[in-house]
Chains A and B, each alone.
Chain A
Amino acid sequence: MRIAIASGKGGTGKTTVAVNLAISLAEHEPVQLVDCDVEEPNDHIFLHFRADQVRSVAKLLPRVDENLCTHCGKCAEACEFKAIAIIGNKILVYNDLCHGCGLCAMVCPTGAITETPHELGVIELGEADGFQFARGVLNIGEAMATPIIHELKDELHPNHLAILDAPPGTGCPTIAAIHGADIALLVTESTPFGLHDLRAAVGVARSLSVPVAVIINRYGIGDNRVESYCAAEGIPIVLKIPFSREIASLYSRGIPFVKELTEWRDRFIVLHEALKKVATS
């Protein structure tokens, strides 16, 4: 089973749920936790992780041989991302805009364009706290997060329960993390911002035909608007984590709360059973 943990709004507790769920389940079955928030990966802060393997993830950037280029402009015309331009007798490549699709090299009639890898970030693989762990890290200043997420998904072990910690938002990186999951576990808080973004996240998951379940975090702050919404939409609320200074304090120090509040381990095991039912219903 593949569980994607998402939220729409940031800071609602995705990492908290992902890490505590992984630790609780790893006592009973093979688990793999994958931190797909490659822009701001945080899972490792809560784990004892040393990477056994580090791999670079790159996109291919065009390099133009000025001796072969006739400035015909076919590459610039073909590029959908406006990443290549001919200005007078000069050819310019905008690395940030390039998606690395290779079309410019294909259309060049003189073979002036070759491609060289440009690192976007890395993926790291290894073991942490009794389970398999993988994470991706986008390099500072790079815009494209999704190729790193796809590389991470290639590392999923077929026989493990996979827990994917998705990035916030509803854009490409979030879609990449949820795509192909058996269930999207959406973590929210019952505030106007939380509900607004939960609706967006539900929209994304449904557009990808992934069933959804909701966790209300910091239960007690806010009001009952998330419960009303879920009841109206027929979305199961599978767990409520109360607002507690103790949980907030453990989080702030990078300690998974199931390590101190051990009664929560059973609750995460029950949660897993509930998720199985939602995923297959």
Chain B
Amino acid sequence: MKHTLFLSGKGGTGKTSLAGAFAVLTQEKVLADCDVDAANLYLLLEPQIVSEGVFQGIKLAIKDNDKCTACGKCREVCRFRAIDEQFNIDSYMCEGCGACAYVCPTDAITLSLVDCGRWYTAATRLGPLAGAELYPGEETSGKLVAMVKEKAMKLAEEAELQTLLSDGSPGIGCPVIASISGVSSVILVTEPTLSGLHDLERILGVVEHFGVPAYLVINKADLNTTISTQIEGFAQRRKLAILGQIPYDDKVTKMMIQGKSAVEDQESPAGKAMREIFSRFAEILK
């Protein structure tokens, strides 16, 4: 299985746009949207839902006030500030560890599974897709990402496909780490800003930490050529192969509004650059 994941550290650098382009250009593949916080890939794909379900990721502590004697033991052991001075449980702070339930002398607290999101598999104009969306205010995106990957692997198995393309989330924490495990290569998308470079350095650290081969794409490279050159220097020092640079092109947004990728517009300069990046990456994988 060739599993490619798109990451960036910084948000809004063009992960989904490039993942969408690769989805158009790759012949036989399964797609996974691992950005469950802000899932956008499907907007380019015209999905028809095939299967779906509710995801119950975590448990939360629930208190029966009739049994509570306000002894305060729960508050003493809670390390997540989830129990206030009146011994109410704040579900947004609760991690569902169960320490409070364990120490409660009257069994007033129980842990109960909560619905955190919805997963789905879909048939799309560009192939099978697995994805998910976190319900507003729910947590555990890491576990939901792991589930999306599992569903995508199963889709690949069923269709006997050897290529999986995953769109990742910004940042370097829990959902990103959950998306990295088991992938064969990561394509990092950055932009020529000091923030882009700073964040690239951190996400590269994470990818290296997990020992996955990484490749770089500089998006909107002409917006600041000085910083683009700086990024090239950084990549060279860190032995990070650059797949290519994409110029700023308002056709990317115009195509997105039509639910399409820039590579589907033969006139788009960004689309042309993305096609070259795709061929270069395909060469490397051979």
Contacts and interface: CB of A to CB of B under 8 A. Distances in A.
Interface of A: 7-12, 15, 37, 39-40, 42, 45, 60, 78, 80-81, 96, 99-103, 106-107, 138, 140-145, 150, 167-175, 179, 191-193, 196-197, 200, 203-204, 206-208, 221-223, 245, 248-249, 251-254
A252 B79 CA distance: 40
A143 B142 contact: yes
3 closest Cβ pairs, A-B complex: A10-B11, A11-B12, A203-B136
Interface string B82-113: 00000000001101111100110000000100
B271 interface: no
Interface of B: 8-13, 16, 35-40, 43, 58-59, 77, 79-81, 92-93, 95-99, 102-103, 111, 133-137, 139-142, 169-178, 191-195, 198-199, 202-203, 205-206, 209-210, 223-224, 227, 250, 253, 256-257, 259
A253 B194 CA distance: 6
A168 B102 contact: no
Nearest to A12: B12
A8 B250 contact: no
Contacts of A206: 136
Interface on chain B toward A: helix, strand, loop, or mixed SS? loop
Contact of A40 (B39, B43, B172, B259): B172
Contacts of B210: 141
B97 A171 contact: no
B98 to A, nearest CB: 5
Given A10-B38, A253-B194, A191 B253 contact: yes
A173 B224 contact: no
A217 B192 CA distance: 19
B40 A196 contact: yes
A221 B79 contact: no
Contacts of A168: 11-12, 37-38, 169-171
A100 B37 CA distance: 24
Contacts of A8: 37-38
A171 B139 contact: yes
A99 B95 CA distance: 8
A179 B81 CA distance: 13
Q: Which of A7, A101, A196, A204 has its CB near the most chain B CB atoms (within 10 A)?
A: A101
Given A45-B198, A252-B194, A80 B111 contact: yes
Nearest to A96: B177
Given A170-B136, A193-B16, A208-B92, A39 B171 contact: yes
A9 B99 contact: no
B195 A254 contact: yes
Contacts of B227: 252-253
Contacts of B175: 169, 171
Nearest to A198: B38
Nearest to B79: A101
A191 B102 contact: no
B223 A252 contact: yes
A175 B58 CA distance: 16
A100 B99 CA distance: 11
A8 B183 CA distance: 25
9 contacts: A9-B11, A39-B9, A60-B79, A138-B172, A140-B172, A142-B173, A172-B140, A192-B40, A208-B92
A191 B205 CA distance: 31
Contact of B170 (A10, A81, A208): A10
Contacts of A169: 35, 37-38, 141, 169-171, 175
B10 A103 contact: no
Contacts of B194: 45, 252-254
Nearest to A207: B137
Given A10-B11, A143-B174, A249-B223, 12 more contacts: A11-B170, A102-B79, A103-B102, A144-B174, A145-B173, A150-B81, A169-B37, A172-B140, A193-B38, A197-B40, A221-B250, A222-B257
Contact of A252 (B9, B12, B192): B192
Nearest to B178: A143
Contact of A42 (B77, B97, B134, B195): B195
B256 A140 contact: no
A150 B93 CA distance: 10
B38 A197 contact: yes
A251 B127 CA distance: 38
Contact of B11 (A11, A140, A142): A11
B221 to A, nearest CB: 11
A67 B181 CA distance: 34
A234 B93 CA distance: 29
B174 A172 contact: yes
A207 B177 CA distance: 27
A103 B61 CA distance: 14
Nearest to B9: A40
Contact of B12 (A9, A192, A203, A253): A9
